[in-house]
Amino acid sequence: MSELFDAVDALVASRSALPPPAERKRLRAAHGLTIDEVAGALKVRRATVSAWESGKTEPRPPERDAYARLLNQLAELYPAPSAPMQETDAPAVRAAFTAPPTPAEARTPAVVAADMTAAENTRTSPAPVAAAPAAATGPARTTRPSSTSRRPGAKKAAPAGTPAGGTDPRFANGPLAVLDVDADGRAYAYCVGGLVLDVPAKSIPSLVDWTLREAKLGAPKLSGPGKDADPLIVLTPSALERYGLPVALTQEERHAGRLPEGHKVIKQLVRAEWKLTKRGFGPWARIYRPATGSERACVQLCIPSWNALDSRHWGEAAQLPPADLARVLGVYASRVMTPRGSTAVTGLELMTALHPPTRASEPDADGRRHSEHNPGSLGKDPVDCAPCEAPDGHPLLKDLPRFHVRGPGEKLFEEAYDWARPMTDAECTLRHLVGIDVNMAFAAGANGLVVGLGAPTHVHAPVFDAKLPGSWLVDLSHVDLSRVKVGKDTWADLDASLLPSPFTPKGEQPQGPAWYATPTVAYAVELGYEVRPVEAYVRHENGRYLDGWYHRLRDAYLATMADLGVHADMDPADFLAAMDGYRQRDPELAIAVSAVKATVKGGLGKLRERPRGEGWKPGQPWRALARPTWRPDIRAAVISRTRVNLHRKIVKHAAFTGQYPVAILSDCVVYAADGTSPLDFLPYRDGKPLPGGFKLGINPGLVKHEGTQSVLWGEEVRERFDAPELNLARYIKDGQVTDKDSGE
C-alpha cells in the first residue's frame, strides 16, 4: 500500500505548478538551505539549481517531481507574506529607507506586554531563520514576564530575524541560552526564538549537568564526518554572582586570561570530575569529561563581562538584555556556527567543522570501521611551511643571524594594500573624494581559490603553472603598467605613475626577484608579461578547501543584510539608499553582520597566528604551530588574490574612464569626483556596470559607498601633517584624523 501512496504522491508532484523563481529562492533561504545542499539532495549541479531560481531554466522530470515536493513542503512551513515586496516596489522602498526608523523604545511596556500575552495565548511559532523583518522599524524589546507567568518551555513573541529552535529533537531549544537571574533569585535561560526555561541549578557543576541532561541545547554537525556543536551558555553579571564567579576579572586575571587554579568554582568542577581545556576558566570556558565512544559531554560558557564579546566585533552586544543577546547570538549561531571563542577562533573552527580531518572508513573484514584521512581536509597533523613562508622567529629560521632582516628575496610578503599618492592638479579642481569599499573582499578572494592541502615541494627553475598553489621566487620588475592587457587581444595605455604596483602592499615597483603567491604571479601573466621563476615551493596536493567556508559566511551575510532591507540584485540607486542607515533599522541584526565580517578576517588571520606571550623566544615553536590549520601559505594566497582582484578592477576602470585612485587601504579605494556619490564616477550604461570593473551591490566582491569628504579636507589634512601621501582611505568614512593616526 505504501508503494501505491508513493506513486500517487509522485504523480501529483509531477503535475504541480512550481512557484515563481523568486519564491523558490525565498523558500530555500527561509529554511536555511544553501544551493549546494539542494543540488546534493536532487543530485544535480549547483548551477542547475541556481538557474531554476533565476528563471533561466525550468526543471524537468524526474528532478522536477522531487523539486516540486520540496517546494510544497517548504511552502507549508513558510507561507508567503501577505504583502510581499516586489521588484517593482523598489522606488517606494527606497523612499521608506530614507526616512528615520521608528526606535524600539517608542513601544511602551504596555504594548510590548500585550504583544507577548497575545503571542503566548496563540502559541505563535518563532520566525524562520531567513525571514525578513515585516517593517523597517527597530526590534521590540522583550520585557521580563512576571514570575507567575513564567514556566519551563514558555514561548514569547520573537523579534523578526530571530532563528527558531533546532529541528533536531536533541537540540529542540536551539544552540545556546543566555542565563539571567531576577530580583527574587530565580534563574532563567533565554533561548533563541523567544523561549525561556527555568534553571534549577545552584552551582556551575550542576548547571553543566542540567545543560547536558535537560536543556536540549546544541546544534547538529555541519558536515558528515563532523561533530555536533556543544551547547553554549552565556552568563550575565547576575548569573555570575549566583554561581560564585566575579563579575569582572582582576588585572592579573585579565593578563592571564583566566581564573586562578585555586578558585572555589574550579575546585567544585574538580570534585565533580569535570575538566577544563588548557585555556582554563576564562571568558570562553569549555567544561568537559573525556568522550566515551561517540558520546560527548561538553558545555561551553561565554562570559560577556569578561570581554568574551569584543566590542570591536560585537559592538554593544555585551550590554544587551538577555533575550536580545540570545537573539543576536542565535542568528550568528544558526547562520555561521555556535561561537567557539572570538570571531577569529570561530572563523578557524568553521573551516575544520566543514572539513573535519578524519572520517570513518569502510567496514573491514570484521565489519569494523576505522578513522582515516578525510579527503579535501588539512589532515590531523601539522605540516611545515616553506622557509620563505615562515614569519620572523619561526623555528625554521633559527640559524639566521640574530639581527638579520629578510628582504623580498627571502620572505613571502603578501599583504593588503596601504598605498596613496599626491593628487594631480586636475583632481584638485574636483570637489569631492569618494570612497568605495569591497564587500567581504577577503571572503570573495577565497571563493574558488585552489590552495595547498599538504606539505610543500621545493623545485628549482620551474615552469610557472597558474593552477599549482605555492610560493614562487620570480623577478616581476619588468612588468610595465603603462601598457597592460585588459582583454583577450586588447591592450591599454595607462599612466603608470598614478597606479600602485599589484605586486607589493605599498604599491612600489619590485626591484628584483621576490617571493610571491601563485595568484600574484598569475596576474603578471594575465597583464601580458612573461615570467621565469628561479625556484618555488609548490603543493601538488591541493583543492578548493575554503569554498564551503566562503559559501557559509556569504549566505550568513546576505541573509542578515536581507533582514535589514538590503537585497541582492537591487538597482544601484536603490542599493545606495538601502545601505544608508541600515544599521539603525535593527541595531541587533547589524551586530550580527559585523560579527560575520569579523569572522572572515579573523579566521584568515588565525592561519598565521603569531606567538601570544607564554615566555616565547625567537627560534622556539609556539602553540599555534601544533595545529594543522596553521597555514600561512593559505592566508598569503587569499590576500594575494584579493589584492590582484582589486587591482584588476582599478585597471579596467582607468582604461575605460581615465580615472585613477587617490588612495587604497585594504579593500577601500578613494577617487576624486565632482559629486558625492559613487554613481558620480562609476561608469554605468543602461543600468549595467563596466564589465570587469566596480559594481555596486551587496554580494561579496561588489562595492558599497564607504564615505565622502571634500578635496579641500584631503589637502588640508595632508598639509597639516606635512604628509603629501597620507592615506586618506583610512579616514574617508568619517573624516576624523588625530595626531596619533598620522604617526605624529
State the pLDDT at residue 627. 96
Q: Going from the first residue of the chain to its last (744 residues), give the mean pLDDT of each consecutive group of 10, the final group possibly shorter.
A: 58 68 86 82 81 79 85 84 45 38 35 38 35 33 36 42 65 96 94 94 96 95 92 97 96 92 95 94 95 81 97 96 96 97 97 94 82 92 96 94 92 97 96 98 97 97 97 97 90 96 96 97 96 97 97 97 95 95 95 98 97 87 96 98 98 96 97 97 90 96 97 94 92 83 48
Distance between CA 315 and CA 324 in Å, rounded?
13
Burial 116-125 (b: 16+ CB within 10 A, else e): beebbeeeee
Q: Is 292 helix (H, G, I), strand (E, B) or coil?
A: strand
Distance between CA 670 and CA 711 in Å, rounded?
11
Burial 212-245 (b: 16+ CB within 10 A, else e): beebbbbbeebeeebbbbbbbbbbbbbbbebbeb
Query: Radius of gyration (Cα) for the chain, nearest Å?
Result: 27
State the pLDDT at residue 149. 33
Distance between CA 540 and CA 537 in Å, rounded?
10
**Phi, psi of 123, deg, nearest 5:** 55, 50
Q: Beta partners for 229?
A: 219
**Phi, psi of 646, deg, nearest 5:** -65, -45
Bridge pairing between strands 542-543 and 451-452: antiparallel
Q: Which three cell numbers stand for residue 200?
A: 534549577
Cα–Cα distances in angstroms (integers) from residue 376 to residues 224, 382, 454, in the given order: 13, 15, 10
Please check whether residue 595 is in contact with residue 332, taking contact to mean a CB–CB distance below 8 angstroms.
yes
State the pLDDT at residue 475. 97
State the pLDDT at residue 102. 36
Q: What is the DSSP string of 130-170?
A: TPPPSSSSPPPPPPPPPTTT--TTEE-PPPTTPPPPPSSGG
Place of cell 585552489: 450
User: DSSP assignment, residue 172?
Assistant: T
User: DSSP assignment, residue 191?
Assistant: E
Q: Which three cell numbers stand for residue 93?
A: 522602498
657 sits in which H/E element: helix 632-657
Please check whether residue 430 is in contact with residue 673, taking contact to mean a CB–CB distance below 8 angstroms.
yes
SS (H, E, C) 242-291: HCCCCCCCCHHHHHHCCCCCCCHHHHHHHHCCCEECCCCCCCEEEEEEEE
Q: Which three cell numbers stand for residue 56?
A: 533561466
Distance between CA 632 and CA 609 in Å, rounded?
8
Distance between CA 333 and CA 590 in Å, rounded?
15
329 sits in which H/E element: helix 322-335
Which amino acid makes up residue 326?
A
Helices (H), 43-148: 46-54, 63-77, 90-98, 109-122
Domains present along the chain, CATH in parentheses: 2-82 (1.10.260), 98-102+116-339 (no CATH), 341-415+443-651 (no CATH)
How many residues in total does the chain contain?
A: 744
Distance between CA 296 and CA 286 in Å, rounded?
12
User: DSSP assignment, residue 46?
Assistant: H
Record the pTM.
0.79
How would you class 283 by CB atoms within 10 Å of its CB: exposed for 0-12, middle for 13-18, buried for 19 or more? buried
Cα–Cα distances in angstroms (integers) from residue 438 to residues 435, 555, 591, 694, in the given order: 10, 17, 19, 9
Among candidate residues 549, 588, 332, 320, the one with its CA nearest the CA of residue 447: 549
CA angle 657, 660, 664 (to 5 degrees): 135
State the pLDDT at residue 489. 84
Q: Which three cell numbers stand for residue 606?
A: 588565525
Q: Is 419 helix (H, G, I), strand (E, B) or coil?
A: strand
